[in-house]
Amino acid sequence: MSHLNNLRRPLLAGSIVALLGLSACGGGGLDALVGGTMSGLPTGQQIVLQNNGADDLTLTQNGDFRFASELKANASYSVTIKTAPTGVTCTVTNGSGKISNTGSSVRNIKVNCDTGPSIGGTLTGLQSGYSVTLSTNGMALVLAQNGDFRFANSLPNGTTYNVVVAQQPLVGTCQVTNPTGVTATNKLSLVSVGCQ
């Protein structure tokens, strides 16, 4: 019987050593990625984000993002904007917290940019079944009915605009009133378009 006990001791010792080796390797996979979603970034511009004051991440388009560095379980993270796009206001939501004790990745950080002011107005007198095309600052807008309108893309604060009729309707002529101006913070620049 003592012979069997002598055989079991090395086996038991070897098992303990193997288990200790696995835990030392971090076999639980507790490293987590930190990321989220970018929205509202204007075409051709970029934003630089940081996590915990380092790990710079440059984004040039909207969509999902993640930082290169992984964090251990229970580590803190704090995502901030290092450099914002020119003339654009950007905010971070759900930007700080702690990695869970199981090391789950963070994917719910939201970075949103708002270029602020935009251009719109009112169209009157357009005959049914026809359309008029307006343009300003490289943006075009086709209107097929009377009423309020708004260009889809906003312009940075302080931008000079000039709304023109790029294409008249097949029937009638349209004219823009108050076509020029400068965008102001949180204010919709209004123009009037009248057709006859």
Domain boundary among the residues 114, 129, 148 is at 114
Same domain, 169 and 156: yes
98 neighbors 75 (Cβ within 8 angstroms): yes
Q: Which residue has the tokens 């002598």?
A: 6
97 neighbors 76 (Cβ within 8 angstroms): yes
Element (H, E) at 17: helix 2-24
102 inside domain: yes
pLDDT of the chain, 196 residues: tens digit per residue: 555 555 455 544 544 444 444 433 343 456 899 999 999 888 788 999 999 999 999 999 999 999 999 999 999 999 999 999 876 788 999 999 999 999 999 999 999 987 677 899 999 999 999 999 999 998 899 999 999 998 877 777 788 999 999 999 999 999 999 999 998 866 788 999 999 9
Residues with Cβ < 8 Å from 74, sequence gap 6 or more? 98, 99, 100, 101
Domain boundary among the residues 114, 149, 179 is at 114
Same domain, 99 and 68: yes
5 CB neighbour count, 10 Å cutoff: 8
Same domain, 102 and 138: no
How far apart (Å, rounded) are the C-alpha atoms in residues 61 and 181?
Answer: 29
Same domain, 127 and 92: no
151 neighbors 141 (Cβ within 8 angstroms): yes
Same domain, 105 and 130: no
Domain boundary among the residues 114, 147, 182 is at 114
Phi-psi region of 53 (alpha: psi -120 to 50; beta: other; left: phi over 0): left
Reported as a single tens digit per residue, the pLDDT across 125-149 is 999 999 999 999 988 999 999 999 9
Same domain, 186 and 159: yes
Same domain, 46 and 106: yes
Domain of residue 46, residue span: 34-114
4 inside domain: no
Q: Which residue has the tokens 């950007």?
A: 90
48 inside domain: yes
176 CB neighbour count, 10 Å cutoff: 19
Count of domains for the chain: 2
10: phi then psi, degrees, rounded to nearest 5:
-65, -35
Same domain, 91 and 52: yes
19 inside domain: no
